[in-house]
Copies of this chain bind each other. A is one copy, B any other.
């Protein structure tokens, strides 16, 4: 009989929430304890140190991402549709304010000042997303589902930068719809068979 929600998961969820809003140095064990409803010391039982906590969070974040990607690849055959689904995922998260920013975007900007264990995990996340997008680009190009103007791995980096830049812009302006405004032409440009 497995619990639907463990304290450890609650701690991770509130950490993610706090991390998205203010970064690594923007929250404390006291903040988490208030949200979860347990004492500070109890958090140390589950995650001995802050580094342990955030390292585990990022590790799971990447693993969840890998799992979601696997399902997406299985359900959606067309490469362009995959990129659209990826963009729509973030558009939805930003617009309903549920997870309006990527944990790893937050941490990547703080990278030089992060504990190395966390920094490594963050870099790993970006390597994963980047190589996944590159594989999508390559396959889509070969099968005529995408029209590329650069090498697949360059297009992948460019697309990733657009997504994360759009995420930042939406936050900077306080206007969620900016994300889709930026992504729409980016996806359009990758669409084949546009008469010209």
Q: Which A residues are within 8 Å of any B CB, using their own CB? A: 21-26, 101, 104-106, 108-113, 122-123, 126-127, 149-150, 154-155, 157-158, 160-166, 168-169, 171-174, 178, 181-182, 185-186, 188-189, 196
Contact = CB atoms under 8 A, between A and B. Distances in A.
Main secondary structure of the interface of A (DSSP, over half): helix
Contact of A161 (B105, B123, B150, B169): B169
B169 A126 contact: yes
B108 A22 contact: no
Contacts of A164: 164-165, 168-169
Contacts of A154: 181-182, 185
21 contacts: A23-B26, A23-B113, A24-B26, A26-B113, A106-B109, A108-B172, A109-B171, A111-B171, A123-B172, A126-B172, A126-B173, A154-B182, A154-B185, A155-B185, A157-B182, A158-B162, A158-B185, A158-B186, A161-B161, A162-B165, A165-B165
A104 B172 CA distance: 9
Contact of A26 (B25, B169, B178, B181): B25
Quickly give the copy total for this chain. 2
A168 B112 contact: no
Contacts of A174: 111, 123
Interface centre among A25, A108, A109, A169 (most CB of B within 10 A): A109
Contact of A122 (B101, B104, B172): B172
